[in-house]
Every structure is written in structure tokens, then in C-alpha cells.
Structure 1
């Protein structure tokens, strides 16, 4: 063995996994059907991205709460992906031990069966974002305790979803007649 071939284990640095990598590993082990990836942004912060089948969505959210009972549900965002509707949930976990772990959970449902489980029993604040998803793209959060509209007026046409990109979205006719039948009052008079 030459001097160049000598293996010096002390000289090698052992890279410890980051908190984000540890969380990603735990999720991937528990949910093998999920796609789990750690991405680093341009500022060097890591974020865990999880794409989970809707059948595992509620269990995953419960598992996140097990990982960190103080997990913070930040926001939920509805999306129209063409053949599917999606819902992205952003959470922050382990925030007491800086840096916190930023976590994005992505779940999809086909447009012909746009049902995703409600998680407001796990994260109560999620209900307001689920309600928005119901009225803006037509998702149905199965088991949601409150399915009333959040932003649209009660007389807004049923079956029309403002953020849909297909025939269930706002028609060109509705855009041209913006404001009607909702009259704008001037000085308290119609």
C-alpha cells in the first residue's frame, strides 16, 4: 500500500443530516407511497416537499403533529392542474430549535372526484383554507365541519369556481358583466 492509498478516517468529515433531512427520512419511511424531497433555496434554507396520495393525506398530517405537537400550519393554497385539483399546505415544525423545518405537503384529486380529507381536527386553522379551496376551485374536503362560503356572496352562481381554468371557471360573459348583478351604490343610492 502506497502513502497515497492510506485511509485516514479522522481526516474524513462525517456530515450529520440536517433537521430537514431527518424529517424527510422519517416521512419517507412511514409513507412509502409519498414522494419526499429536500430542496435548498437560493439563501441556503432547506424545505421538505412531500407529494402524498390523498388516501394518505390525513394520516401524514397526523404524523407531522406527532413529530412536533407544536407544528404550525401556515397556509393552504388550492390549485388547478388541468386534469387534477391540488392543495398545497405549508407547515413549520421544530421552530423552537432554530432553524425551523419548512414543510410543503402537496395532495391532488382528479377533477371528476375532487375529494380530499378534511384535516381541521388535526390543525383547526386549516378549515379556513379548505373553505377557500372549496369555493375557489371546487375541492370537497370530506368531513369538514363547516362548508359555508368564505369569500363569495351567497348568491354567487353554484358550480362556478373563480380560480378554475376549465369550463367551471368564470366565463368571459361574467367578466364582461363584472359588477352585475351586484350593483355598486353611489352615495348610498343605487
Structure 2
């Protein structure tokens, strides 16, 4: 799934062939994933693409705060990211309050468009799976999809912030 989404995002110009990441950001996913996935699992049958997009927006939010002031924000829990309105408005809370994108701005619209494309593609990928609904394998597929969407959002935000991998010349 990870390689598929990387290729998908690269083909659309959302990424440049690399999943930029940080062990700090990935560690935060391990910390908040149980609470997020519990809520997302309850909502998934009714709103699968929204749930997948929220995982991506979480990746964007954590990456942004990692870049901005990780010492200050590293201890924030899942409730901070979903906001006071709860799971149903997590996307807006992250875009407007965490990423500080003005409502209706081109920047916000671009982020939403990218995440909608990614979540739709991920959902189609999940639907093509031969995993039987309601099984332990289906839950593992769900958890994997959520983690991949988080990593996708993380990479997109790090790229937006100007991060990139560069070859270093060592010892000449």
C-alpha cells in the first residue's frame, strides 16, 4: 500500500518520489493511532474516505508542529489534534487551527483536493482487496491503510515546508 500511494502521489505531483519522514513524527503516530483508529473504525462504514483523509490530515498536522516547535507540541495528545468539536470536524480543525490555513484560501483548497484524491484512491485500493469484511484481516487492512495515509500526509506536509532528501558528499 505504501509503494502504491507513493507512486500515486508522485504521478499526480503531490510528492517527488520519496516519502519524507521523521522518526519523531512516526513515533507520534504510534502514540495517537490507538485513539484515532478507535474513532475512525466506528465511523468508517458510513464515511470511509473522510476517515482516511483524517489520517492524512493528522500526518500533516504532526509534521507541521514538528517543524514549528516540536519541544512544545510533542506531548500533545490525540484530543488536541481532533479539536473541541470532535472527530466530525477534525479536518477543518487541523486545516484552520493547526496548519493555520485561512478558510477558503487556495492553500486550504489545494490541501483538501490532495487529501480527497489520496483518500479516494486508498479506499478504492481497499475495496479491490480480497479480504473478507468483518474479519481480523479486514481490521489489519484498515489499520495499515490509516498508517499509510498518515505517512502520506506527513510526507506532503514536509515537502510543502521545503524538506527534501539531498545526497551528501562524504570525505573527499
Give the TM-score normalised by structure 2.
Answer: 0.28
Q: Whose radius of gyration is greater, 1 or 2? A: 1
Structure having the higher strand fraction is 1
**TM-score calculated relative to the size of structure 1:** 0.26
More helix as a share of residues:
2
- Which has the higher relative contact order, 1 or 2, with Cα contacts under 8 A spaced 6 or more apart? 2
